[in-house]
Structure 1
Amino acid sequence: MKPVAKKYMLVGALALITSGALSQTVLAQESLREAREAAEQRDQARLLELVNDQEALTAALDEAEADHARAEETFAALQEQQAEQMEVASELSSRQSEQDASLADLLADLSRHSAEIRNALGEDSWLTLDPEALPPRLEQAEVLERGQLETVVDTLARLTAQTGEALRLERDVAEANGEIERETLVRLGDFAAFTDSALLTRRDGGELAVLPRTPREIERLLGDFVSGESRVMAIDPTQGTVIAALGQRPSLIERFHQGGYVGYVIVALGVIGLLVALAQYLYLVGVSGRVKRQSRSGAALRDNNPLGRVLLRFEGLDKHQSPEALEARMDEAVLAELPKLERGQPLVKLTAAIAPLLGLLGTVTGMIVTFQAITVFGTGDPQLMAGGISQALVTTVLGLITAVPLLFAQTALASRSRYLTQVIEGQASATLADHLESQSAQLAPTAG
């Protein structure tokens, strides 16, 4: 082939290439028109330059042939790599077809267990104080990945380990007055969380709050456990059911208020009766001591005791009266001392008898309230009847508790006053008998 013909063939090839480029640029957007025209002008200038320069055209052709050879080598290598990848893909496809069912079942089981754990713990578990402690949700996962499996397994292992750990944490806690403060708390596994003064509970939103009523038996252990001075702590294996029941147990003052107005009356009468009994018993104890001293003193009569006053009155009588008259005067003096000795006993006996009756009255009124609640609200909610039943039972208990010590007090007063009365009557009778005997001895020699 002649150089001129070869030159024209190259020019034709370049023209064909240029026409192809032009046909593709026609399909481009209008916004690229100016850039296309500039590129065409540069290509035309390069084409004219190559046509005019035979050596440059030959060098460009050699370079193009070298690029073509390298491209063919690269294409062959890529074809060989593609063949290898097709073999690997075929092997993986066969293995996947064998394992698709097993992996799908494993993903379904993993998703179900993860959801069950999240639902079981929820916002009530102490293990979820950290939101990242729960396993991830896998309901939307379509393909099982290794990272998902590792995350779920690690999360379950961490939750299992935390059930047996005691951790000290810093969290916001809602106090009883409604204020939220940063508190240092201790979490005992999934059983309880508490500060140094109160047990904690979780609200609906997961916020921590102080338990409205911490049982006194547990409250005494909290401070020492949090400070590290003691390792003894009460654990509720029912996850708070027993502690809630203990917390709802009313105190003695609350029991007293459950009795209502009838309970207040019963307690008031009981207090009055006991005060009267105590005052009278102290008076009788003092009188007993003075009577004993008077009995031992003999002729030295004092008017600070009933026996001394009775004997002084006998000394002031006309001894020439008949024995019947002297005995009557002596009985009169003894009877004059009895009201002070028996003072308060009727009131104590009355309160001891009235207290059970008032308790019965409270029982009746409480049952009336209960039946009224049943009439209005039915029997669906036992809490609506609890108030009337509490009043019925508490007033009965208050009446019995009041009556029992009052009966003991009345018995003690009666025994002490009866003892003093017997001592006074015995001393008075002995004094009268001594007087009558001496008088009879004086009359006997005269008659002789």
Structure 2
Amino acid sequence: MKMNKVILTSLLTAAFSLTQAAEVQKADSLDQLLNIVKNAERVESRETQQRIQRFRSEKNQQQKLLNDAKAELVREEERSDRLKKQFDTNEVQLGEMAEQLRIKLGNLGEAVGVVRQVSADAAATISNSIVSAQYPGRAEVLTELAGRKEIPTIPELRRLWLELQTEMTEQGKVVTFETQLLDKTGAQVVKPVTRVGTFNLIGDTEYLNYNRRTNNVEEIAKQPKKPTGVLSIIDDYTSASGFSLFPIDPSQGAIVNTEKNRETWPERVENYAGIVGFAIIVVLAIGLIIALERLGVLSATGAKMKKQAKSSTPGNNPLGRVMSVYMANKDDSFENLELKLDEAVLKELPKLEARISIIKIFAAVSPLMGLLGTVTGMIETFQGITLYGAGDTSVMAGGISSALITTVLGIVAAIPLILLHAIVSGKSKNLVHMLEEQSAGLVAQHTEGK
């Protein structure tokens, strides 16, 4: 049916082509027109037969391809069935062989697990041990042994035993050896290094750090300051012979290494005090200057007044000026002289009490300024927690610690200012009391003279 449709379509196409050909060629007579039509019909008939033949050939070829594909499908399905059966058979055989292996191994399988576990633990211990600075490359062998699933060989077990024994033996030794280390500038230099068991590495006068990630020995940028004199002890240890004291780090360098991040008080003040902290320092400095100036002036004035009390000649000091007033008005009446002396004493009081109240004000203001800085720092810390969360507690603790720096500064400023204010105020009151006492004595002397 399909073939008939194809033939019909071809004939219609040929007829249409003949008509076009007849229209294109011009004929002078009816005979010429008839010949043209006949020739065109023969050509189209031949082309139509060729098309029909080609269609039939392609149809036969497609049928052959389809038959080949069906045959290939059948063969592959048969092959799949064979492979599936073979797979099932292999699974059964594999299970039987695994059971036979388990029976033959007996407790050896547990021994393999123990060896792997011990190798992993030993590799972790050795990789973190400062002994690896002297004997590098030991952990890699044990790591490879810990990751293997095969039964370890006798040489491998002996190597595990050797590394464990080496680590235990080296823990009790103090050894000096030469190795490459990174100095504080980042340059690699070869220097003698002393290893104290598995606790510390030291150079000539300082602790050294063993970087376990890069397997490098490094100089520490900041050496520990506590206990006091620890670096001088290291110097004595490296230069002494025989037995000598040495401060070890039981954390195998972790405590010494933290000194790189430990800040001194000047660094904390510089980094975290802020505007409020520096304002407290300025207040403390001004208060100390005023207190020391007042202390010096009052001490000198007190010495002059004590010397004046033993002399009848008025001098250039508060008591001398009061005595000058007495000498100038000693012939006046008792009431008039008393008023003149009281006036003279009152004139000296501002000089003796000058700027002492400022010290007291600074001592009272310093803690309040410190509290202000702490509150401001706490607000900034909690704002950071609000924005970024509190996943890292060390960040929060560091922020609070930084905020408390100003409180410490305020208290540190207030304590000496309060003490100095008490001392200066006491000296001033003593001098005022001396003036009043001497003034009363002059009045009494005048009364007795009358």
- What is aligned with 1:150? 158
Q: Distance in 2 between matches of 1:411 and 1:250?
A: 34
Offset at 1:242? 3.6
1:329 corresponds in structure 2 to 340
- Asked if structure 1 preserves the Cα contact closer than 8 Å seen for 2:130 and 2:210, the reply is no
- Which whole-Å CA distance do the structure 2 matches of 1:247 and 1:292 have between them? 58
| Structure 1 position 164 matched with structure 2 position 161 | no
Q: In 1, Cα distance between the equivalents of 2:398 and 2:109?
A: 58
The 2-side partners of 1:97 and 1:274 are apart by 86
Contact 1:334 1:425 (8 Å CA) reproduced: yes
**TM superposition shift of 1:387:** 4.8
CA displacement, residues 335-386 of structure 1 (integer Å, 9 cap, x when unaligned): 1111221122021111111101101111111111111111111111234334
Structure 1 residue runs of 4+, over 6 Å off? 96-99
Deviation at 1:256, TM superposition (A): 2.3
1:206 aligns with 2:220: no
Moved more, 102-111 or 346-355: 102-111
CA apart distance, 1:152: 2.4
Residue of structure 2 equivalent to 1:119: 124
> Residues 156-206 of structure 1, C-alpha deviation per residue, up to 9 Å, x if partnerless?
211110011111121222222322222221112222212222331315222
Q: 1:143 to 1:376 in 2, by over 3 A?
A: closer
1:370–1:387 contact (8 Å) kept in structure 2: no
CA contact (8 A) 1:127 1:133 kept: no
Offset from partner CA, 1:389-433 (integer Å, 9 cap, x none): 123211111111111111111111111111111111111121122
Corresponding residue for residue 53 of structure 1: none
With over 3 angstroms needed to count, the CA separation of the structure-2 counterparts of 1:221 and 1:276, relative to structure 1, is same
Structure 1 residue aligned with 2:320: 308
Amino acid at match of 1:341: L
Q: 1:200 to 1:280 in 2, by over 3 A?
A: same
Distance 1:421 1:434 in 2: 20
CA distance in 1, matches of 2:156, 2:402: 60
Following the alignment from structure 2 to structure 1, what is the Cα–Cα distance between the partners of residues 138 and 172? 15
CA distance in 1, matches of 2:102, 2:378: 75
Are positions 1:252 and 2:265 aligned together? yes
Which residue number in structure 1 is paired with residue 352 of structure 2?
341
SS in structure 2 at match of 1:167? strand
- Alpha-carbon offset, residue 150 of structure 1: 2.7
State whether residues 201 and 211 of structure 1, in contact with CA within 8 Å, keep that contact through their aligned partners in structure 2.
Answer: no
Matches within 5 A, 1:78-97: none
Structure-1 residue corresponding to 2:238 = 226
1:279 matched residue in structure 2:
293
CA RMSD across the alignment? 2.6
Output one character per residue of 1:86-105: Cα deviation in whole Å (capped at 9) or x when no partner: xxxxxxxxxx9998545565
| Deviation at residue 277 of structure 1 after TM alignment | 0.7
Q: Is the 8 A contact 2:126 2:138 kept in 1?
A: no
Q: Partner letter of residue 268 of structure 1?
A: V
Bigger drift between 270-279 and 219-228 goes to 219-228
Q: Which of 421, 438, 445 is the equivalent residue of 2:432?
A: 421
What is the SS of the residue equivalent to 1:213?
Answer: coil
Structure 2 distance, partners of 1:374, 1:353, is 33
Encode CA deviations 1:207-254: one digit per residue, 9 max, x unaligned: 222234321134333222223367222222233444345554432212
SS at match of 1:388: helix
Partners of 2:237 and 2:387 in 1: how far apart? 49
Measured after TM superposition, the shift of residue 318 of structure 1 is 6.7
Amino acid at match of 1:118: A
Of 367, 377, 398, 2:409 maps to 398
Contact 1:225–1:232 under 8 Å retained in 2: yes
Alpha-carbon contact 1:373-1:384 (below 8 Å) kept:
no
1:152 and 1:121 mapped to 2: Cα distance? Answer: 12
Q: Which amino acid aligns with 1:259?
A: A
1:435 aligns with 2:446: yes
**Alpha-carbon distance change, 141 to 226 in structure 1, aligned in 2, over 3 angstroms:** farther
> Following the alignment from structure 2 to structure 1, what is the Cα–Cα distance between the partners of residues 212 and 149?
32
Shift of the 109–360 alpha-carbon distance from structure 1 to 2, 3 Å rule, reads closer
Structure 1 Cα separation of the partners of residues 210 and 153 of structure 2 = 38
Matched residues in 1 for 2:429 and 2:186: separation?
63
Pairwise CA distance, 1:131: 2.0
Per the alignment, do residues 421 and 398 of structure 1 end up closer, same or farther by CA in structure 2, a change over 3 Å counting?
same
Q: Which residue number corresponds to residue 3 of structure 1?
A: none
Which residue is 1:110 aligned to? 115
The answer on whether the counterparts of 1:259 and 1:390 sit within 8 Å (CA) in structure 2 is: no
1:354 aligns with 2:365: yes
Q: Which amino acid aligns with 1:153?
A: W
Q: Which residue of 1 aligns with 2:277?
A: 263
Q: Secondary structure, in 3 states, of the residue corresponding to 1:170?
A: strand
Unaligned runs of at least 5 residues, structure 1: 1-95, 440-448
On the 8 A contact 2:291/2:356 being kept in 1, the answer is: yes
Contact 2:181 2:191 in 1 (8 A): yes
Q: What is the letter of the counterpart of residue 302 of structure 2? A: S
Does the 8 Å contact 1:170/1:183 carry over to 2? yes
The one-character-per-residue Cα deviations of 1:70-96 (angstroms, maximum 9, x if unpaired) are xxxxxxxxxxxxxxxxxxxxxxxxxx9
Question: What is the total number of aligned residue pairs between the two structures?
Answer: 340
